[in-house]
Amino acid sequence: MLIEYLHATMHQATYEILPDGTFYGEIPSFQGVYSNSESLEDCRQQLQEVLEGWLILGLQLGHQLPVVEGIDLAGC
C-alpha cells in the first residue's frame, strides 16, 4: 500500500526549468515537498526522497496524511 501511495503521489509532481537552468519539482498538495537539481532525473529522484522522509515523519508523528487516488494511510 505504501509503494502504491508513493507512486500515486509522484504522479502529482510538477516540474519546471528555472532561469538558472536547474529543474524545480514539487508536489503541490504536500507542503514542503520540493526539490531543485541540475537535471530532471536528479530532481525527480530527490523529490521522491523528500516525499519518503515527509511521509515517514508524518506517520511517526501521527499527522493526518492526504488521501491520494483513494489510498488512505491512516492507521498504518
Q: What CATH number has the domain bearing residue 14?
A: 3.30.160.250
Residues 73 and 67: their CA atoms lie apart, in Å, by: 7
pLDDT digits (tens, 9 = 90+) for 7-41: 999 999 999 999 999 999 999 999 999 999 999 99
Total number of domains constituting the chain:
1
Q: How far is CA 30 from the centre of its chain?
A: 7
Q: What is the pTM of this model?
A: 0.91
Residues 45 and 15: their CA atoms lie apart, in Å, by: 12
Residues 63 and 68: their CA atoms lie apart, in Å, by: 15
- Residue 25, domain extent: 2-61
Confidence category of residue 76, pLDDT binned at 50, 70, 90: low
- DSSP class of residue 50 equals H
Q: Is residue 33 assigned to a domain? A: yes
Q: Is residue 67 assigned to a domain? A: no
